[in-house]
């Protein structure tokens, strides 16, 4: 069955799982996200409330948290996953806790990932566990490693513990046949994280692909990096896993480059980003024997192109080699219509205690306001479906 160019306009399929009340709630949230002033003011107030330990968690839970998160516990997540499974949509499970600093915090994050692997092993609709590498070690330590600075004895010991956490979670995932996606981070620590992730791929991706790296294509050097790493994986005899995204730190990257006087790692315009992203997708699909890919995008053109290329290359729509993913709470017109056409789809689903996930949700809200047209597109489709239902 040929993919229709207007596939993502079908709001009846996109919102079939949502009640009228849920649609109205989503409508209100995206109206809020349409105002950068309101988002930034609300984010500042939320951060202040967290610092002062004010009881704001219940307010967040029944508004932004429930819309963009799977739940605080696996029991709550299980209900969310089951509802998505009714439309044959899986999830990428992410323990959404950020910005920790102590070994105790890092060991807790590791244990949470281990528990998620145990949970995922029993649920076929969990396509992967997403791991934030900076939940395993200090940001400043990764920065020193990338800059090849001399580490103190204590820092050397710390970094060895970081490496051990990486290895432990990857081995446990491999032994339980659960896939891991390593998230991308800022460019000034990404090389250090790439090195660790590539070590894990070399070790555990021999027969099946259990470890993926995230490639941010808003960086002008990442397409060549991807091609080089895939070539190296072929020589070394392991499978390469690539989660392709455009990127999440554009403004921060440009500001830092300007402040420190080096060339920005970010493309100068959107066209360059889009071109590299689509070429990366095509490259991965053409190398499907040795590359597993997650097309993680809210760009409708890129998703349509990937669908059409899969059909042209006679790649089965439900192949485990290719997963399409969008954020939970967004991009339903893409995810649900992809699933309806038989493609392998998954929602990126953060979970965890409300107070710990709030920083992630704040960052997500701020990103939404900076992505041109994204919030407006979400709101247009929701309004259309509300009108269709009468």
In a domain, 231, yes or no: yes
In a domain, 12, yes or no: no
Helix (H) or strand (E) run with residue 115 in it:
helix 103-121
The pLDDT score that the predictor gives to residue 42 is 58
pLDDT band at 142 (very low <50, low <70, confident <90, very high): very high
The pLDDT score that the predictor gives to residue 82 is 96
**Which of 33-42, 103-112, 217-226, 340-349 has the least mean pLDDT?**
33-42
**Digit-coded pLDDT (tens) for 30-85:** 887 776 655 566 566 666 665 666 666 676 777 788 888 999 999 999 999 999 99
The pLDDT score that the predictor gives to residue 373 is 62
> Is the pLDDT confidence value at 275 over 70?
yes
Alpha carbon of 322 to those of 240, 242, 287, 310, 351: distances in Å?
A: 12, 10, 11, 9, 24
Q: What residues make up the domain containing 243?
A: 68-365
Domain count, the chain: 1
Dist. CA 47–CA 24, nearest whole Å: 27
Length of the chain in terms of residues written: 390
In a domain, 326, yes or no: yes
> Is the pLDDT confidence value at 264 over 60?
yes
With beta carbons less than 8 A apart as the criterion, state whether 328 and 349 touch.
Answer: yes
In a domain, 55, yes or no: no
Tell me the CATH number at 114: 3.20.20.220
In a domain, 253, yes or no: yes
Closest CA to 241 of 126, 129, 89: 129
> Is the pLDDT confidence value at 147 over 70?
yes
Question: In the predicted model, what is the mean pLDDT of the chain?
Answer: 91
Closest CA to 187 of 155, 217, 160: 217
With beta carbons less than 8 A apart as the criterion, state whether 354 and 70 touch.
Answer: no
In a domain, 236, yes or no: yes
The token duo for 265 is: 């790692």
Closest CA to 117 of 166, 78, 69, 170: 170
Confidence (pTM): 0.93
Dist. CA 24–CA 390, nearest whole Å: 13
In a domain, 260, yes or no: yes
Dist. CA 318–CA 96, nearest whole Å: 28
Alpha carbon of 169 to those of 95, 106, 119, 130, 188: distances in Å?
A: 14, 12, 14, 11, 24
**Digit-coded pLDDT (tens) for 17-34:** 999 999 999 998 888 777
The token duo for 53 is: 């330990």
Dist. CA 241–CA 275, nearest whole Å: 21
In a domain, 86, yes or no: yes
Dist. CA 244–CA 18, nearest whole Å: 28
CA angle 188, 352, 113 (to 5 degrees): 65
- Spatial neighbors of 360 by CB under 8 A, at least 6 apart, are 96, 97, 98, 350
């Amino acid at each position: 069955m040929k993919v229709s160019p207007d596939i993502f306009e079908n709001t009846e399929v996109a919102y079939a799982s949502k009640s009228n009340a849920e649609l109205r709630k989503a409508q209100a949230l995206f109206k809020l996200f349409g105002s950068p002033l309101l988002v930034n003011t609300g984010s500042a107030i939320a951060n202040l409330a967290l610092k002062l330990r004010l009881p704001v968690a219940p307010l967040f839970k029944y508004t932004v948290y429930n819309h963009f998160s799977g739940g605080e516990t696996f029991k709550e997540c299980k209900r969310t996953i089951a509802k998505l499974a009714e439309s044959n949509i899986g999830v990428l499970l992410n323990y959404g806790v950020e910005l920790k600093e102590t070994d105790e915090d890092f060991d807790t994050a590791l244990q949470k990932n281990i528990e998620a692997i145990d949970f995922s092993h029993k649920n076929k609709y969990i396509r992967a566990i997403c791991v934030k590498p900076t939940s395993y070690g200090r940001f400043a330590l990764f920065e020193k490693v990338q800059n090849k600075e001399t580490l103190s004895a204590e820092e050397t010991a710390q970094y060895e513990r970081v490496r051990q956490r990486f290895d432990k979670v990857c081995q446990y995932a491999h032994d339980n046949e659960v896939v891991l996606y390593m998230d991308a981070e800022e460019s000034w620590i990404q090389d250090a994280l790439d090195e660790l992730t590539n070590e894990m791929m070399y070790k555990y991706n021999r027969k099946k692909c259990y470890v993926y790296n995230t490639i941010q294509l808003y960086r002008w050097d990442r397409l060549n990096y991807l091609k080089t790493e895939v070539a190296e994986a072929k020589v070394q005899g392991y499978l390469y896993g690539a989660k392709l995204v455009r990127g999440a730190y554009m403004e921060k990257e440009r500001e830092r480059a300007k402040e420190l006087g080096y060339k920005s790692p970010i493309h100068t315009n959107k066209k360059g980003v889009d071109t590299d992203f689509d070429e990366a997708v095509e490259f991965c699909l053409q190398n499907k024997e040795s590359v597993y890919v997650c097309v993680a995008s809210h760009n409708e053109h890129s998703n349509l192109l990937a669908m059409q290329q899969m059909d042209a290359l006679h790649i089965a729509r439900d192949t485990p080699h290719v997963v399409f993913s969008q954020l939970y709470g967004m991009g339903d017109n893409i995810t649900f219509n992809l699933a309806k056409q038989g493609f392998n789809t998954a929602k990126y689903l953060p979970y965890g205690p409300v107070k710990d996930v709030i920083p992630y949700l704040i960052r997500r809200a701020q990103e939404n306001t900076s992505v041109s047209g994204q919030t407006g597109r979400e709101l247009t489709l929701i309004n259309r479906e509300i009108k269709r239902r009468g």
